Chains A and B, each alone.
Chain A
């Protein structure tokens, strides 16, 4: 297991390095942060050069990139071009906001999709199964920004129940988490259903039933555990796409997270903030994938011994 983890770690470092290199290079292909900072105002080329020099932009790309890597080693992401706030400070505020929202969405989708998926599998071909499948198709077809706007109109403006934006209390999680959770649920229900169907046809389930075990013990202790492998993989992978999709949801709900941070940084050509936030996001996705691999081993002892 130790060798396996070490190998994965080395791969992870390589991936993160590649991502930072591509991002740092690509953002520099268009736009000039000095001009963005000046806001198109009355400014001469000499002033722009002064600003570029102050921001360290007159150095060649490789020098800037190496300086960024050097900073990474000691946890220093540099300072934002917009006002000089340390990037690490911005990330330390934005990352928890995004992770909380991502976990809330994931949790919501698990809480909804596991019982629904199991129910559909048990009632295969009968009306509850059909209903759940149709609902999940409907859920999959929603564009999430549309869903978000509809929820805001209904829950915040018509009913006045929930705050339309911002991260304030537990109630402010409901709509953003639902927006992302519903689409995840739609996929996960299908996954749980298929996986359960496969497991339920196995002989050991028949054995369990014939032993006279209660229905829920058979379903949730024996069948679900064995169906969990594809589910765990998929949820792990979803976390990555979740972080990608979060940009839109964060913007609609004005969520002070990594998506907002990265989006603003791209618009303002704020290189340090963009490099820092993408690096942290890449680290996270790589880490999650690593955890998924380890989780396999925990759920299925056969993988551990391989």
Chain B
């Protein structure tokens, strides 16, 4: 009898396996988007992961906003002016705006948001430090607020368009408490919260009373999928509309699929090999310049990144404020590089080691290619993979690197200040070796300037100076890549993965 029961069970399993069970294509009006990480809390002041923004940018609004074109525009503030010699910024607020729970948006909500961010609650999270240039916020009248500044911050208006500066509802948070708000977020944005299943998904639905007009989609589902292969499989199976994690090597898979399109646009991430200016052959600026000359970044972009990147001359994307189209990287010339090394007195077979993030499969190939070029220069090149947190939190800040190290950076503000200051100012975590008073002075000076043209000029000077000192081998600015189901229309793909799906529709 047991045998036959087993057989029946087997038969049943087989029937179950053969029935078409996979869910059909997505329902009309619902769009699903993959994010890699679950931020754990949807409170704007708790996190700094991009994935938070991918979803929460649809729930919340800031005083300013930034569209997919990266241009700053009015958000919950309709206009602003600088007063008291730039010590005070006055914002006129948008009227008749409601939070998704019905609570009115007004000057009190703005004050509450920033009191919370700059107070004890904000202290526990990573967002406060971005906004320390603000001393406090004063309510002028119901629709006007003043930001009283502690020090000038030319990037503040950009920073008000996201993350910790997203406006939160005072009454809701006071009544329900902080824990509840973490998992049941309410903002003024175009989509309102429906449900959140940790490590699985976040579901939002249209908020028809949004001040910018009702969004076109009924429902938005953000699914947390950490594995790139899985995101692509879901995309190919028609169960996902937007995949956000597409390694360059898998881009052709998406491109070839007739149901899908691949979007490859300039992104925020720049990659360089920083050079050790204290020890090893890279101590000598002429050697550093020889190394830059000896690596063919165009070939690396074509072969390893399959063309999904652009060469850079300084550590920023061309979308970045401070970018200088006239600054060109030293062009590749193997013979010249060899000669430069010889002149600098570097013996053949001198060692050069590249430290890199071991879990970055793409960069591993880039590093191998770079090592190949260094080998061709007659150097003894080798690679040293590290676990990412170890490299970032120990090896680099404590000055324990080898001659070169992998530096990848992607600030969402698209302002060279944020990058350059942290990379090159004395005493900063990412600058373990240099103390250059001239560079420090330039970096500090631009932080006090609101004049756009003037500040841009200094940032360009900084980039030129860094290139001149050859502090790094600039490599490339890699593209942001999305895989999108063709049924998605009006998808305005943002460079920084901070989506806003107000106009997007699905068939």
Contacts and interface: CB of A to CB of B under 8 A. Distances in A.
A84 B46 contact: yes
B48 A54 contact: no
Contacts of B183: 85
B199 A260 contact: yes
Interface string B405-428: 000010100000010011000000
A157 B47 contact: no
A82 B392 CA distance: 19
Given A85-B183, A171-B16, A41 B130 contact: yes
Interface residues of A, number: 62
A253 B230 contact: yes
Contacts of A163: 21-23, 237, 239
B3 A164 contact: no
Given A90-B199, A164-B230, A54 B124 contact: yes
Given A164-B237, A252-B229, A83 B126 contact: no
List the 8 closest A-B pairs by CB distance, nearest first. Answer: A83-B40, A83-B41, A31-B389, A171-B21, A82-B40, A54-B124, A164-B233, A39-B48
Given A42-B129, A50-B123, A161 B234 contact: no
B225 interface: yes
A174 B16 contact: yes
B157 to A, nearest CB: 16
Interface stretch (B6-14, B81-89, B96-104, B369-377): B6-14
B361 to A, nearest CB: 15
B223 A166 contact: yes
B236 interface: yes
5 contacts: A82-B41, A83-B182, A108-B13, A153-B233, A163-B21
A162 interface: yes
A165 B387 contact: no
Given A83-B39, A114-B6, A51 B227 contact: no
Interface string A196-234: 000000000000000000001000100000000000000
A32 B123 CA distance: 17
Contacts of B27: none
A251 to B, nearest CB: 6
A168 B43 CA distance: 27
Contacts of A152: 229-230, 233
B230 to A, nearest CB: 5
B198 A85 contact: yes
Interface of B: 1-3, 6-7, 9-10, 13, 16-23, 37-43, 46-50, 123-126, 128-130, 179, 182-183, 197-200, 223-227, 229-230, 233-234, 236-239, 387, 389-390, 392-394, 409, 411, 418, 421-422
A125 interface: no
A39 B129 contact: no
B3 A115 contact: yes
A259 to B, nearest CB: 11
B199 A41 contact: no
B237 A156 contact: yes
B41 A47 contact: no
A251 B124 CA distance: 30
A153 B41 CA distance: 34
Contacts of B225: 165, 254
A261 interface: yes
A94 interface: yes
A47 B389 contact: no
A30 B40 CA distance: 22
A171 B389 CA distance: 38
Nearest to A174: B17
Contact of B393 (A35, A149, A171): A35
A256 B199 contact: yes
B39 A254 contact: no
Nearest to B40: A83
A254 B230 contact: yes
A109 B180 CA distance: 43
Nearest to A112: B10
B210 to A, nearest CB: 26
Contacts of B47: 37, 39, 82-83
A75 interface: no
Given A90-B198, A164-B237, A269-B389, A84 B41 contact: yes
Nearest to B1: A216
Interface in A144-199: 149, 152-153, 156-157, 160-171, 174
Given A31-B387, A36-B389, 17 more contacts: A30-B390, A30-B394, A31-B393, A35-B392, A39-B49, A40-B409, A41-B126, A41-B129, A50-B123, A83-B39, A83-B43, A84-B182, A114-B6, A152-B230, A161-B17, A163-B239, A254-B226
Contact of A157 (B16, B48, B129, B233): B233
A160 B237 contact: yes
A196 B3 CA distance: 16
Given A111-B9, A216-B3, A264-B199, A157 B21 contact: no
A70 interface: no
Contacts of A31: 387, 389-390, 393
B450 to A, nearest CB: 19
A141 interface: no
Contacts of A174: 16-17
Contacts of A112: 10
Most chain A CB inside 10 Å of its own CB: which residue of B19, B179, B197, B230: B230
A36 B42 CA distance: 17
A164 B225 CA distance: 11
A170 B42 CA distance: 30
A83 B130 CA distance: 18
A47 B129 contact: yes
A66 B237 CA distance: 48
Contacts of B48: 37-39, 41
B16 A170 contact: yes
B352 to A, nearest CB: 25
A84 B16 contact: no
A43 B199 contact: no
